Amino acid sequence: MTSPGMTDDLPHEECGVFGVYAPGEAVSKLTYYGLFALQHRGQESAGIAVSNGKRIMVFKDMGLVSQVFDEATLSSLTGHLAIGHDRYSTTGASVWQNAQPTFRQIGGGGLALAHNGNLTNTDEIEELLAAAEQEDVPHKDKMDSSNDTALITALMASYPDGEPIEQIALDVLPKLAGAFCLVFMTETALYAARDRNGVRPLVLGRLENGWVVASETAALDIVGATFVREVEPGEFITIDSAGLRSRRFAETDRKGCLFEYVYLARPDTKIAGRPVQPTRVQIGRQLAIEYPVEADLVIPVPESGTPAALGYARESGIPFGMGLVKNSYVGRTFIQPSQTIRQLGIRLKLNPLREVIAGKRLVVVDDSIVRGNTQRALIRMLREAGAREVHVRISSPPVEWPCFYGIDFATRAELIAPGLSTEEIAQAIEADSLGYVSLAGLHMSVGLDASQLCSACFDGKYPIHIPHGAAAALGIDQENA
């Protein structure tokens, strides 16, 4: 992710969630490491809520996990169950008030909640809350944040005292539309839920004396948990002293995010049983079949382009090489770059290896093109370093539509692909040639039926209704879809 003030031309990740119920374990530290493993999903803020059975303690702040938490803080967060959150904002501003987990009083105790995804019916949720306020239901204290997570928490807290939390959840969850993976907790129990379409990943793992839920299997690996299964779309899970219980709040209609396989998920993660790394290699092979070119070297844009570049090199027979060095420490920064540094743009993140690329015809493999600014700057940098030709290959189809399910793409007006041919985009980014993997080729590489995947950002076919105002602005007729 680029820093504030830099050329910001990436699809931003949404969020990462983590929950653990493990009596006798240092659950705050397990959550810290789980969030660390999910840091790629959000770098704006991080938070952990922990319960010792009597009270919930929440600590959250702006910044990376390693910036927010230290040994002293984690040692003070004692208990036997915890939830955590890495945030990138898709709704609500990037401010402390919107950091998660959220917390509300509910009944005689507390409720902490963390959310990955994006609701598409926030207007309806606000109407439900307004109706509850008119009925003078307790616990309607003013919300101090502006995101859809706060709406979910407030709606759950709007029920009368004494209502069992499981019953509240089973009543609230069917009212939520869009993409959501939730982990939430009371003083004594951990809960998890996934929307009926399973847009975002959520998995269940087993510790020797407890359970873990997380956005990706990589987080289970980091904390030593054994993968058990996915949390099923439309499933609601309770974990407490009596063990694990599962109930359905909606029938499954799987529409997993296709872009998770291209870019969002860690390469060492599995989604719907598909390991991401070999899937991305296969996408690169498919890209080489669809868009071959005579060249001397295949180089990735690290690191998200690396697996597909390996696949392209293997299929084409063109040697693979690392022609770009990435500065791994360029992440979120609170220091605004000067005008001089801002003009350097992509050089803060990537630097060419001149001795590798000089005089070469290059195939440069990247995961996506959003606005095109980054690719244009990168191609100019490679030519300055001596590249003879630069052929760009992209391991996803053209991004032509915004996402309403948890990825912060540019608006459609800001995207480079709508209205332009591939040749025109190649001219705009100053590439010698450009090739995107086809949507059919991407589906084939992933190995799941297209009916089980959401590809709305590529084809404009939204499987879940989006807000009516947004649909009208985009010219989408949802009533006849």
Which residues form the catalytic set?
Answer: 15
Helix intervals (H) in 268-320: 276-290, 306-316
321 Cβ contact list (under 8 Å, min separation 6): 297, 298, 299, 356
Residue 257 is assigned to a ligand binding site: yes
> Where does 9-121 have alpha helices with state H?
27-37, 65-68, 71-76
Task: Please tell me whether 403 is known to bind a ligand.
Answer: yes
Q: Number of helices (H) and strands (E), helices first, in the chain? A: 17, 23
Contact 354, 385 (CB under 8 A): yes
412-419 CB contacts, 8 Å cutoff, 24+ apart: 412/474, 414/370, 414/371, 415/370, 415/371, 416/369, 416/370, 416/371, 416/372, 417/369
457 in a labelled binding site? yes
Which residues make beta-bridge pairs with 324?
A: 352
Write the DSSP symbol of residue 229: E
Print the SS3 string covering 126-185: HHHHHHHHHCCCCCCCCCCCCCHHHHHHHHHHCCCCCCCHHHHHHHHHHHCCEEEEEEEE
Has 454 been labeled as part of a binding site?
A: yes
Q: Which of 108, 112, 109, 160 is nearest to 132 (CA)?
A: 160
Report the candidate in 137, 141, 145 with the shortest Cα–Cα distance to residue 113.
145
Cα→Cα distances 59→202, 421, 426, Å:
23, 49, 47
Rounded to a whole number of angstroms, the CA Rg of the chain reads 23
Q: How many whole angstroms separate alpha carbon 56 and alpha carbon 46?
A: 17
**What phi and psi, each to the nearest 5 degrees, are found at residue 229?**
-175, 170
CA distance linking residue 383 with residue 227, whole number of Å: 46
Per the annotation, binding residues for Mg(2+) are: 304, 366-367
Per the annotation, binding residues are: 257, 304, 366-367, 403, 454, 457
